[in-house]
Structure 1
Amino acid sequence: MATPASGPSVLTRRGVLTAAAGTLLLSACGRESERTTAVARPTPGHELVVGATLELTGRGAALGVAQRRALAISAEAVNVKGVAVGNLRRTVRLEVLDNRSDPRLAARQATELGQREDVHALLGGALAETSMSIIGAAQKLRLPFVSLAFGDSITVPLAQRTFVYKVTPEAGDVARRLAQLIDTQGLRRVVLLVEQGLHGDSGVRAMTGALRTTGVEVVRTVRLPRSTDGATRAAEQAVAARTGGVVVWATAPNSGAAARALRTAGFTGNLFFDAGAVAEETLEGGNALAVEGAYAVHPSSLGGSTMANGSATGRAYRDLVSQYIRRHGAYNGFAPYASDALLLITTAAQLAASVDRGRLRAYLQNQVTDGMAGMYSFTPIRHSGMERHSLGVYRVDAGAWNRLS
């Protein structure tokens, strides 16, 4: 595999794509040779160490636990053969810490991981607030960090986010799809019911602008409290506006609690969710009746398009779903962002032929990868890499997400 002689400072997007093509060819040749020779195994004593700070408890556990499960399954799959880094095959070792949904704890964990010479990259932060707290440590310690959170401010301003990347879709892309959907249904007035914090802030800006272009009026913007227990008052304010549609821009479990509170308050119109609502909790228990018929914009893996794909990514996704169901029960199709974050990091290591942090960062920012959740295209001036065409429109029918477009 060719490696630029002058280091990361002279990397070009074309060069990385060329290297990626070479990697695919080498992989194909490797599969051919494996038919007659033993399967390659990781080189003993050599690792690619990825730190992860996740919300395994606290208000972000609905997202964090699911990501830990997917991450563990994907790491096991990678380690069957290891990651080809230069002339070695490295084993992926995960260092997973519970940040308890506490931004201060997440920052301390990121610092501790970053100060270790054996940690090569970092992922995590399913909540925008925890991801934002990690950024300072990642930048100071020059540790590549792939965020799993929703919130556009995670990757901008770019000059202060040179080691930071994000796998979730942009708020603007989600908002445009939701605005088009609302417009086609003939609704002219809606309420925005958004959670407090950075994710909600992104939603307000994006939805206000997108709806303006379609001529739909935002009658009222109501903020959801951080606790699911306080959703009742916010829902009553939203219902009082008397519109036929409410956009709930919130991550699980707040999204499901908001839907339940809206129906209890007498709202009978259409509900629209952003991608942060898609988690097991949203469709379960007391939320089931409340969210029936609701719409969401989400990466296309939710509808099983990746499942039907005959590519390596499609096979990996099918294996992930199968293993997830076997170990943890029903799989409701949430996008495996942590699995894609790991894929981006391991691909960068392969292309760089190195686990050096600077080179990993350089190859992350010039990477085009077909992930399980969608297609990613990172550039030096764009670190939020999910392509907008990876998004689809879904509706909850009979307790399941069904793709409409």
Structure 2
Amino acid sequence: MATPATGPCVLTRRGVLAAAAGTLLLSACGREGDREQAVVRPTPGHELVIGVTLELSGPGAALGVAQERALAISAEAANVKGVAVGNLRRTVRLEVLDNRSDPRLAAQQATELGERDDVHALIGGALAETSMSIIGAAQQLRLPFVSLAFGDAITVPLAQRAFIYKVTPDAGDVARRLTQLLDSQRVRRIVLLAEGGLHGDSGVRAMSNAVRAADAEIVRTVRLPRAADGVTRAAEQAVAARTDGVVVWGTAPTSGAAARALREAGFDGTLLFDAGAVAEETLEGRNALAVEGAYAVHPTSLGGSTMANGSAAGRAYRDLVSQYIHRHGAYNGFAPYASDALLLITTAARLADSVDRGRLRAYLQNQVTDGMSGLYSFTPIRHSGMERHSLGVYRVDGGAWNRHS
């Protein structure tokens, strides 16, 4: 509604989505309020069982362990009252398995979990390769799977991903923000240092498309090898191109190792990361000096400064940070993707009044939810739901991620 002071209202996509999220939240809260009189604790013997396969060891542990910790805290919070499903309040039970960063083991675990009648949904795959290996089993067994990995191929082609969802941002959205940042820093010529594999492939495509629409040029693309001893050679190739900026598109711990190798090779220009770099390990130890002054595009939960103080998501995020620090000693700002995956599944169960896999899938793909990492908008034709407006730019100053824009 227009007012004399503010002029006409302008409807934006984010505004519409936020309104829809509020409607869903009010609907769910209203239904819970009706039940609150009769049921105030989880109903004994009734559970919402979620299988979890994560990289708790191996190369992906820098991401997987942090997500498992956040997931455990969020599940405990949900179980204070339980999840209202129909006329019951179900306890969330997590079946957590370590896939050791091995795609074959992750696929085996997904199959074993999916063949159990009591498992209702699946979360996991912090690495693109493990997530991709889980997809086949989840699809075949019609088990809703929410991936925590980076890589656009996780949710497309849609015809082969009916039960698959992703909470991380799309590569194209991250690349556009990185390109805008390059323009603001007057960096015109860059090297793209992209890790091998699906996540790096998404970055190469996205950055190539983004620079075409901007006054920038990718002078050279260098792929980062999986082996740590090959990072030095890749960094030397990047520095030899003599550019003012390097975009490192990879996940921790590779991102931090690449930054260190670049600085050791003599690079003193602008260093930028995609969202996969944001993990505790990137800022710690030998990486600390190398990443100082670097930028990253990441969901705006990083640091928590933009979370609305009075919102349910804001309160949940502050509680997560507090509990994480209490239990594990430090919280350097990784996105709580696993916590949001749990929220999406429990919200689907509440709205569906059911834990049936098919109904969970139906309500996942028609859901707008304000999570800790950002706003999610899933539709039947879009299973990668994080909205681009949920992304911000951060800079490492004093060993911490600080909001830049």
How does the TM-score come out when normalised to structure 2? Answer: 0.93
Q: Deviations over 1:315-345 (max 9, x none)?
A: 1111100000010011011110000000000
How much does 1:306 deviate?
5.3
Give the match for residue 297 of structure 1.
297
How much does 1:228 deviate?
2.5
How much does 1:20 deviate?
5.0
Give the match for residue 132 of structure 2.
132
| SS of residue paired to 1:92 | strand
Q: Distance in 2 between matches of 1:365 and 1:83?
A: 19
Contact map agreement 2:187 2:216 (CA 8 A) in 1: yes
Give the match for residue 356 of structure 2.
356
Please, which runs of 5 or more residues in structure 1 have no aligned partner? 1-13
Contact map agreement 2:32 2:84 (CA 8 A) in 1: no
Contact map agreement 2:248 2:273 (CA 8 A) in 1: yes
How much does 1:23 deviate?
1.4
Contact map agreement 1:228 1:253 (CA 8 A) in 2: no
Question: Do the aligned partners of residues 70 and 16 (structure 1) sit closer, same or farther apart at CA in structure 2, a change above 3 Å counting?
Answer: closer
Query: Is 1:328 matched up with 2:334?
Result: no
Give the match for residue 275 of structure 1.
275
Contact map agreement 1:172 1:210 (CA 8 A) in 2: yes
Q: Deviations over 1:215-263 (max 9, x none)?
A: 2110000010112332100000000000000000000000000000000
Give the match for residue 27 of structure 2.
22
Q: Distance in 2 between matches of 1:74 and 1:47?
A: 16
How much does 1:308 deviate?
4.7
Query: 1:223-302 to 2 correspondence within 5 Å?
Result: 223-302=223-302
Give the match for residue 182 of structure 1.
182
The residue identity in structure 2 corresponding to 1:25 is: G
How much does 1:363 deviate?
0.1
The residue identity in structure 1 corresponding to 2:326 is: R
Question: Do the aligned partners of residues 28 and 125 (structure 1) sit closer, same or farther apart at CA in structure 2, a change above 3 Å counting?
Answer: same
Q: Distance in 1 between matches of 2:349 and 2:21?
A: 12
How does the TM-score come out when normalised to structure 1? Answer: 0.93
Q: Distance in 2 between matches of 1:21 and 1:329?
A: 35
How much does 1:186 deviate?
1.0
Give the match for residue 50 of structure 1.
50
| SS of residue paired to 2:57 | coil
Contact map agreement 1:306 1:313 (CA 8 A) in 2: no
The residue identity in structure 2 corresponding to 1:264 is: E
| SS of residue paired to 1:302 | coil
Please, which runs of 5 or more residues in structure 2 have no aligned partner? 1-18
Q: Distance in 2 between matches of 1:15 and 1:376?
A: 11
Q: Distance in 1 between matches of 2:358 and 2:22?
A: 18
Q: Distance in 2 between matches of 1:76 and 1:288?
A: 33
The residue identity in structure 2 corresponding to 1:294 is: A
Q: Distance in 2 between matches of 1:305 and 1:261?
A: 31
The residue identity in structure 1 corresponding to 2:30 is: L
Query: Is 1:213 matched up with 2:218?
Result: no
